[in-house]
Structure 1
Amino acid sequence: MTVDERPTPPPELDRVDREALAELAKRDAATLREVSAYLKEVAAWRERREGPADESASDEGDSESYPDGVPERATVSVTEIAGTEYDYYQWREGDEIRSETVRR
């Protein structure tokens, strides 16, 4: 890779990941290094909490799969209630804010 060539993101990233990386790529090098260090800490925390990622396992919480009636532009957040994880989808339709909660 030459000085002018920009690194290519991994091909297995979903739409949300690619958008986040595109936004981060606009930041200065110092900020990127700080974010990188933070993300390494988050990855280590998740591995301690959930165990190492198994690439062959199916991803039940795939952010590219939305329930029927939920638009792809919806914001997705994950919440845990009484030990059960839920995907919380929220989007705007005209002047109204719509939402849907689905068990993971």
Structure 2
Amino acid sequence: MTTNDRPRPPSALEQDVRERLAALESSDVETLRVASDYLEELAAWKVATAEASSKEGCDEQSEGEPDPDEYPADVPDRASVSVKEIAGTTYHYYQWRESDRIESKTVQR
């Protein structure tokens, strides 16, 4: 890379992110390297967190979170589901909005 080939923030980024990156252009080399190291670590952490969340999500679903295919016939797929265990019995509480009303249904599993 020559001095005439100065890098610019990628246009694929949102405007506010490009502006923040452009603000770093006046920083010294050491500051840029420290910021770069931090951003690499942050990206790795986000990937690890997302992977852990997706694994936990799979575990949660197997521990009683119903699959959308298992919703009762009269409950829409967009319904939110709360799973509660009361006195050893598991209940699934489905709740959704229809027009101005909130509908709900309780199913014992």
Bin for the TM-score computed over the shorter chain: 0.3 to 0.5
- TM-score when normalising by structure 2: 0.44
Greater share of helix: 2
Higher relative contact order by CA 8 Å / sep ≥ 6: 1 or 2?
A: 1
- TM-score when normalising by structure 1: 0.46
